[in-house]
Structure 1
């Protein structure tokens, strides 16, 4: 055997050994951006679509009187719907943020903005509504006219889509009409004037010269583990930016202003949108990315880990798939659809960490419009718990 033959044989054996080694690795190591396997459904509960606050005010008058997916407006009470942000309370309950009402500024003037408190029970599959607070502006911080003279905020005033709880127990809420940051006390009272995002304006912003599409403001907002910084993430692309690229800004809570730091999140497809963004640690976020489909037309409903450190130096947050929400293992048939569970909703806008390997995800049911589960029937608000294929290695300060 010649030396060249020996070298070729040695190289071949080394290649075979490397291939065997890669085959033995979990999928996340063998193929970049892929988890070791599907996430697993570990809990399921649902709040019926037709859930209303008893004794509240009428709503939905601007929807007309024709049935929508079998539901006839207007409604005698306020619907409990449209969950667009979630906070864990530590006692089995969650604060969930209802968005602007019925989809736009023009039809939501009689929908009262509210933080609902819910208690999901995965043993029974039920979700109880156990309280909540309306959002108000009693000290007249909002500089433009409000819908109601009593300063109770409505879906014609703001489109609230993301929420965090600061270290002092107050709420910071991200809006899409400005886009603005809104600071509320524990009772839902506005504490200061809405904070605009410099050089970015939605069509609903009276400042004019919009450069952001309608309903594409702060859909997600992460709170740093030390609770000193906010990271609001736009849902849409600012005019002049690359198609499908979203801005993530940094807001300093102590200084009360935006810093100069900004990152770019690139969607898998320009037509996609984000649904939520929360902190894992100082560098990483959990981000829901989704397409606009529902039911059988839903193809992209994913949970990504996004890293601000940009290790590949391409100018964008690094993305790693954490869970495909259309392909969740369900060996115990908790969801009632067999061994594979799909979360096929048009808008999935809530994620919260339960432990280092478990998260809860909720949908925004766009009552009474979305029909992701059953055609012609309005979606429930579903709450699911999923076990991820790999640990998050999260900062202990974001864990229960």
Structure 2
């Protein structure tokens, strides 16, 4: 179903750039619940998975490393190289990397959530299995229960390129094959938005791949530098148009139409190899027809935002989008501009971490989806003291922040609440406390005015 380019004059001010962002309404958010899954949460591979997968993260350094827990993880030089307290390789597979919530829940009320490609890249994640979960956060106890983990596999040879575990009986998928970043469940089947291709993956609820769909825009396939078939040297903008780590970070399922709205994480590249603009493309896929609709739209990033994290509808046309900068850690512990010792401060603190409410039924003449308003995840009211102070550091009394590098999960809970979670990138991200790995945190937010906004 094509969207209507309605109300252009009403939305142009909101959609078109920095000056508009200053006028956009910032709605209040109140913390209603806080739960977490510990950073060091590991699971064992299926019994018939290759033995190689029983120790993961062997290829994250400059050379192969088979000795478990011998290489300490840290946040990287750009983030102060703070240690995180965990070392690679891991025995088992880390649950880390919550990278998307499905809009529809399981029959028991649990939520579907997705783990991404493993350790951040195609080259270093060949021993990281791909899977999704059913989880149940309990905001009364502060615990997150993992009810089930479903490993993705390709027994019917549906993937159109060679797998890392091609010659194995199980044909389990790994982070060298795909980077799954968003998930939706429709009619008892799973649809996954992926970054490397970028692809849309169709699978069963028990993890068997049914089809893999390349991305088509204006009659041409969009490719990234990690798409199979793109070889070095490759010209940005000509041989590939999708930036590295710029494929589908969010993919929303629209009620009633059942269209998948796939949102790229970064701007597309033009023929000159430069980003086409400070906006992201949204393309629509029809699961019933198993094809792209041909429609595409634009999502305008706020000043300071560099990427999106998740995308989910809350009704027939309005949806939530996470937008973020690349910062990590509370600004109250930011490094001084002239600091040389950054071991006890954040050189790149979190500043822009928003949940944006958009209306997909209101699109201006240039194709921009209307931004209704947003909430600021760095400034949440915690007057009721819902935060778990055993893990929260550096927040002011009565205020709560979510200062993580990658915040990649959002969904509507009811008419007044949403739930948000982070991707903790184990063992490469901190954010709460210097020297400690980030946990997988789930927060329940009371945002009644925000959800009612039109």
TM (norm. structure 1) is 0.86
Question: Residues 177-188 of structure 1: matches in 2 within 5 Å?
Answer: 177-188=196-207
- Counterpart in the other structure of 2:261: 231
Q: State the alpha-carbon separation in 2 of the partners of residues 255 and 239 from structure 1.
A: 28
* Equivalent residue number for residue 111 of structure 1: 128
Which of these residues, 15, 30, 33, is aligned with residue 40 of structure 1?
Answer: 30
- Partner Cα separation in structure 1 for residue 134 and residue 286 of structure 2: 28
Shift of 1:282: 3.1
Where 2:86 maps in the other structure, the secondary structure is coil
Among 55, 58, 64, the alignment partner of 1:58 is: 55
Pairs within 5 Å for 1:348-387: 348-387=407-446
Residue in structure 1 matched with residue 313 of structure 2 by the alignment:
279
CA distance in 1, matches of 2:215, 2:364: 32
Aligned to 2:172: 152
Corresponding position of 2:67? none
Of 218, 221, 241 in structure 2, the residue corresponding to residue 211 of structure 1 is 241
The CA deviation string for residues 318-376 of structure 1, in whole angstroms up to 9 with x for no partner, is: 11223111111011211135310000100000001110120000100011111111112
SS of match in other structure, 1:390: helix
| Deviation, structure 1 residue 261 | 1.4
Give 3-state SS (helix, strand or coil) of 1:67's partner: strand
Aligned to 2:252: 222
What is residue 307 of structure 1 aligned with on the other side? 359
Moved more, 207-216 or 380-389: 207-216
Contact 1:219–1:276 (CA<8 Å) still a contact in 2? yes
Matching residue within 308, 322, 332 for 2:384: 332
One of 125, 130, 154 as aligned partner of 1:137: 154
What displacement does 1:308 show?
Answer: 2.5
Q: Which shifted more, 336-345 or 105-114?
A: 336-345
Equivalent in the alignment of 2:118: 101
Q: Secondary structure at the match of 2:250?
A: strand
1:181-200 map, 5 Å: 181-198=200-217, 199-200=221-222
Q: Offset of 1:196 from its aligned partner?
A: 3.0
For the residue of structure 1 that corresponds to 2:112, the secondary structure is strand
After superposition, what is the alpha-carbon deviation per residue over 1:108-143, rounded to whole angstroms, capped at 9, x for unaligned? 111110112222111111112221110011100111
Bigger Rg, which one: 1
Task: Indicate conservation of the 8 Å contact 1:135/1:190, yes or no.
Answer: yes
> Partner of 1:75 in structure 2?
90
TM-fit CA distance, 1:89: 2.8
Looking at structure 2, the residues matched to 32 and 89 of structure 1 have their Cα atoms a distance apart, in angstroms, of 39
| Stretch deviating more after TM superposition (310-319 or 44-53) | 310-319
1-structure distance, mates of 2:423, 2:209: 24
- State the 1:378 CA deviation: 0.7
Query: What's the counterpart of residue 5 of structure 1?
Result: none
Q: How many residues align?
A: 363
CA RMSD of aligned residues (A): 2.0
User: 1:311/1:374 Cα in 2 relative to 1: closer, same or farther (>3 Å)?
Assistant: same
Asked which structure has the greater RCO (Cα within 8 Å, sep 6+), the reply is 2
Give the TM-score, by structure 2 length: 0.76
Give SS of 1:392's match: helix
Tell me whether 1:323 sits opposite 2:375 in the alignment. yes
SS at match of 1:210: coil
Contact 1:244 1:271 in 2 (8 A): no
Partner Cα distance (2:298, 2:30) in 1: 30
Contact 1:304–1:319 at 8 Å: present in 2 too?
A: yes
Distance apart, 1:32 and its partner CA:
4.8
- Contact 2:304–2:352 under 8 Å retained in 1: no
Find the aligned partners of 2:315 and 2:261 in 1 and give their Cα distance. 12
Q: State the distance in 2 between where 1:192 and 1:314 align.
A: 33
Question: 3-state DSSP class of the match of 1:376?
Answer: coil
Q: Counterparts of 2:304 and 2:398 in 1: how far apart (Å)?
A: 32
Q: Which runs of 5+ in 2 are unaligned?
A: 1-21, 47-53, 62-69, 74-83, 231-238, 331-348, 390-394
